[in-house]
A and B are shown apart, each in its own frame.
Chain A
Amino acid sequence: MMTSSPTHTEAAKTEQIITEFFAKSLHIILESRALSASSRNFSTLSSPSSTSSSSSSSVRPRDKWFNLALRECPTALENADLWRHNNLHPIVVDIVLVHRIMQLDLKVRNPFEEFGVGGSQSEKIVERWVIQYESRKTRDCSNSSSSSSSSTRRSSSTFLQNLYKKATLLIRSLYATVRILPAYKIFKELNSSANVCAFTLAHRVSTFFEPFTSKQESEMLKFVFTPVNTLFGRLCLSVMYCQCVSDVSSESSSTPLSPRVITDYVGSPMTERLMRFPSLPVVPVRLPLHGSPSSLPFSRRHSWSFENGRGSPPSVNYCSPSPTHSELNTLVSNASYQCYPPPSSLPHHPSEMALLHKKNVNFDDYYPSPNFSPSPSPSPSSPIYHLGSLASKTLLRSESAPVNIPNAEVANSPGHTSRHNLPPSTPIRISRCTSETDGSRNLMQLCTPAEKMCSLRKDESQKYSGVKIVPNSSPQISFSRSSSRSYQDDFDDTDFICPFDVDDDDTTDPGSRAESFDPGDMTQLLEAGRFLPIRKSQGAVVGALVNMLKKAAPLHQDFSSTCENISRPETQKSNKVQGPNQIPDTLSAPSIMCSGNRKTTSDALEEFRSYREMKNMLLKPRGGNSNQQI
């Protein structure tokens, strides 16, 4: 057979082209179909380069294959790694539209957890891609080597060139085709909206396929790309696709987040109460920094954020993914089209502002919500049930934030670096196609990044806050948001027990509010995981005091015991010490609390004043552990 070394090289080169063709095709397909992969990694890894022209950014070795630079797509890379296989096996990619029946319970937060289990979902294969190398096998191989080897050899280099050219053309066609097919519409819609529910796209990569039933087949159209001939076989690519998916996509776009829901959320009394809290409104600081299109729907919150965030323009954020952004885009699209300058990195036609949102869809960083709904952030877990009908919205909004920073890190985390180790052009490998081909496994792959984020968030949140937050204030925002939210939501339940101090709150709070923006505090809050277990910062202590007042039904006998639960012993102790020493004309805290039963409102006001003084005392000395020193 292939004894002479030149022929062997040609065969090897052909094989290599085929292998890379498989990988590239898979990448192109998954990049435009796999919800989690494309958008997330576009944002984290290659957003600066992918929209710019070729000259401005570096060229990765993988890009050089077929002269097509693609966005990073870990799903594809993972699969490519798996499927750098015996070229004689086809690669079959099924794109599956999954329709889930939504319930407002835990499943909402982790749609993939339940994947393939319950009967509450229906799947439909909307596309089947088959990438195949049909080898002419030994007969033709021997032919090519036996028949006048000199002429074959002479032409073989041009043949290889020709093969490469044709494969390149085929790849170009594939790239354009995936965007014309109906499934791309679904992908775009799911990617651009904050849909957690109803629909999602999944994919299965395998080396075999179950043939469609005749009914299924009748619904599908087939497009066969013209095969590319090689010396030893031919490279085939075909797709069967469902024509009639537009109804599905429109349904999916209309189901989940109606504009009304969001408006309610922003304008509701509940929001106003949230507004008072220092840590919460900081969140949108990131919005202007991202150049994200709209802030008007949140005018109040944003006015806060502008004031508070003005000092430190972070640069880190530009390369971090922007869940807030995606969240916003959805809102913008739902509420109204706003004319805002497009993000500088995005190539828009300036005259087409009104359609900004639509355009953004492709270039922007989106978190496809279905994949991040499993966000393991602790924040939404408890409060979400208190909020009743607001649950889903809160879920959407609060979950995205904590994902933010860890995700940027995930890209560099050991788990993910493996793909960087892939050689740009890998020699042929031994087949690894085994039982890993089933759908659930692939879906698990989708989940993996989220799980990593989970661990990262739990274990390393402190690290992140330490490392990344200190230089600029914005990354902490997402954390403070998540940590404060649970507090907020807890708080909402008890808010009206003592209405009198609701009024006072606004006058007494500014000090603590200012304090709370101190990055140090945020990290401590973070460390604490929640707002309540206060440790060191004065702001936090004050916060606890205010909280105590909020929580307290001052006319209740057992108030002190409530306090015991809320605040840490040190704080209480310091209160006891400070009370008599520093504020001689008021009673010490515990005694006030315990004698509460017979008090009138004016008593309570006085009581509150004493707390205010106490707070001022606390604020006066500088340094974190001044409480203990006094």
Chain B
Amino acid sequence: MNCEVFQLNELEIEHFEIREVLRCILHTIIFHRALGLVRPKDVDLELFDITYVQCGEVEVEMKIEEKIEQFICWVEKHPNKKSQICLSFYEVKNKQASWFSNRIERLYWEQWYINLNVAQHLKSHSSKSHHSKVSDPREEGVLEDRNARSAALEVSLRNVLFQIIKFVNEKKDHVPPIPNLEGAISFPYEITIPSSSDSAFGMDIIKRMLQTGHPTMLS
């Protein structure tokens, strides 16, 4: 089974936008891969005039929130770095136990790379929603810039969502058959964020390669 890798367009975001942007992208991807019975849930973003769809599973939402938290922590420790979040889908295969790996093997069949460039210089505005922007009118120009930037980001984010939809549409053959499972989530998935240090992130990948035994999948 080959592993499809999708690289999503890089988004230039500010710290306070991380949460919404990631939610929107991660949920949209997972919705397209939740092939069990789904009761979709529409969610409006606060910062942008965008509605995205969640698959309505509480566990998914919790997992995503948790990962976003971790990512935000990482970003705070590593300012001004481009970062990549990877959402991978895999199948689980039982495998003969060997001396260095688990019995369970993960066969990755799809990976989505979300590319973010988090700008730090405007961090003072973080945690404020766009409603409060007006309350801090240091300069007219700054405000206009911010609005223009925000509008541009909205367009980019929308494009990323379209990108996801296009990928989903173009590549369907690699998706494993829908298992007969209860619940919406039909395939296991994992969200990988850069770990606390880059070397550890690298280690993570090596570990995973060792585990799966399919290094080619990681492109």
Using CB atoms and an 8 Å cutoff, list the residues of chain A in contact with chain B. 49-55, 57, 59, 63-64, 67-70, 158, 161-162, 164-166, 168-170, 172-173, 175-177, 179-180, 184-185, 188, 223, 225-226, 228, 337, 347, 352, 354-355, 358-359, 361-363
* Chain B residues with CB below 8 A from A59, complex form: 37
Given contacts A54-B37, A67-B35, A226-B172, contact A176 B165 (CB under 8 A): yes
In the complex, which residue of chain B has the Cβ closest to the Cβ of A52? Answer: B39
Q: List chain B residues, Cβ under 8 A from A57.
A: 39
Given contacts A170-B169, A173-B168, A177-B165, contact A53 B37 (CB under 8 A): no
* Chain A, Cβ-Cβ closest to B157: A180
B38 near A69 with CB under 8 A, answer: yes
- Set of chain A residues within 8 Å of B129, measured between Cβ atoms: 354-355
A57 and B37 alpha carbons, distance in the complex (Å): 12
Bound CA–CA A361/B49 (angstroms): 12
For the complex, is B16 an interface residue (Cβ under 8 Å from A)?
Answer: no
- The distance in angstroms between the C-alpha atoms of A51 and B43, with both chains bound, is 11
Bound CA–CA A211/B137 (angstroms): 50
Cβ of A226 and Cβ of B46 under 8 Å apart?
no
In angstroms, how far is the closest chain A Cβ from the Cβ of B90?
Answer: 17
Indicate if the CB atoms of B178 and A165 lie closer than 8 Å. Answer: yes
Contact A176 B169 (CB under 8 A): no
Majority-rule SS of A interface residues:
helix
Chain B residues with Cβ under 8 A from A188's Cβ?
44, 51
Contact A226 B170, beta carbon cutoff 8 Å: yes
Is B28 part of the binding interface, using a Cβ–Cβ cutoff of 8 Å?
A: yes
Contact A180 B161, CB 8 Å, known A165-B35, A172-B32, A352-B46: yes
Number of A-B contacts (CB under 8 A): 117
The CA of A63 and the CA of B39, in the complex, are separated in Å by 9
Residues A53 and B56 in contact in the complex (CB < 8 Å), given A165-B172, A176-B32, A180-B162: yes
- Interface contacts beyond A67-B36, A223-B162: sample of 6 additional A-B pairs, CB < 8 Å, sorted by A: A54-B184, A69-B38, A170-B169, A176-B164, A179-B42, A361-B44
Q: How far is the CA of A49 from the CA of B172 in the complex (A)?
A: 30
B51–A166 CB distance below 8 A: no
Place the interface of chain B in its size category: 35 or more
Residues on A with beta carbons closer than 8 Å to the beta carbon of B162 = 180, 223
Is B57 at the interface (CB under 8 A from chain A)?
Answer: yes
| Complex contacts, B131 vs chain A, CB 8 Å | 337, 354-355
Contact A68 B52 (CB under 8 A): no
Name the B residues within 8 Å of A168 (CB-CB).
35, 178
A54 to B59, CA, bound (A): 12
Query: Does B78 reach chain A (CB closer than 8 Å)?
Result: no
Residue of A nearest to B28 (CB): A176
A and B contact pairs by CB, cutoff 8 A, 11 listed: A54-B37, A54-B39, A59-B37, A63-B37, A168-B35, A169-B35, A173-B165, A173-B168, A184-B51, A185-B49, A359-B44
Closest 9 CB pairs of A and B: A226-B169, A362-B42, A179-B51, A69-B39, A67-B37, A166-B172, A173-B165, A172-B32, A54-B39
* Separation of A363 and B54 alpha carbons in the complex (Å): 13
A54 proximity list for chain B (CB < 8 A): 36-39, 56-57, 183-184
A363 CA to B39 CA, complexed, in Å: 13
Decide: A161 near B35, CB < 8 A? Known: A176-B161, A354-B129: no
Query: Measured between C-beta atoms, what is the minimum distance from B54 to chain A in Å?
Result: 9
Instruction: Say yes or no for B153: interface residue by CB 8 A criterion.
Output: no
How many Å lie between the Cα of A165 and that of B186 in the bound state? 12
Q: How long is the Cα–Cα vector from A355 to B20 in the complex, in angstroms? A: 14
Residues in B neighbouring A226, C-beta threshold 8 A:
169-170, 172
Q: Inside 8 A of B169's CB, which chain A residues have their CB?
A: 169-170, 173, 225-226
From known contacts A161-B177, A225-B169, A362-B42, infer whether A173 and B51 are also in contact, taking CB-CB under 8 Å.
Answer: no
CB-CB under 8 A for A363 and B57, given A179-B52, A225-B169: no
Residues of B within 8 A of A223 (CB): 162
Cβ contact within 8 Å between A347 and B41: yes
B158: chain A residues at CB < 8 Å are 180
B46, A169: Cβ atoms closer than 8 Å = no
State in angstroms the CA–CA spacing of A352 and B175 once bound together: 36
Known contacts A53-B57, A165-B178, A172-B168; is-contact A362 B51 (Cβ 8 Å): yes
- Chain A residues with Cβ below 8 Å from B71 are none
Residues of A within 8 A of B57 (CB): 53-54
Closest to A360 in B: B44
A355 touches B46 (CB 8 A): yes
A residues within 8 A CB of B178? 67, 161, 164-165, 168
By CB atoms of chain A within 10 A, which of B52, B169, B177 has the most?
B169
From known contacts A176-B32, A188-B51, A358-B46, infer whether A169 and B39 are also in contact, taking CB-CB under 8 Å.
Answer: no
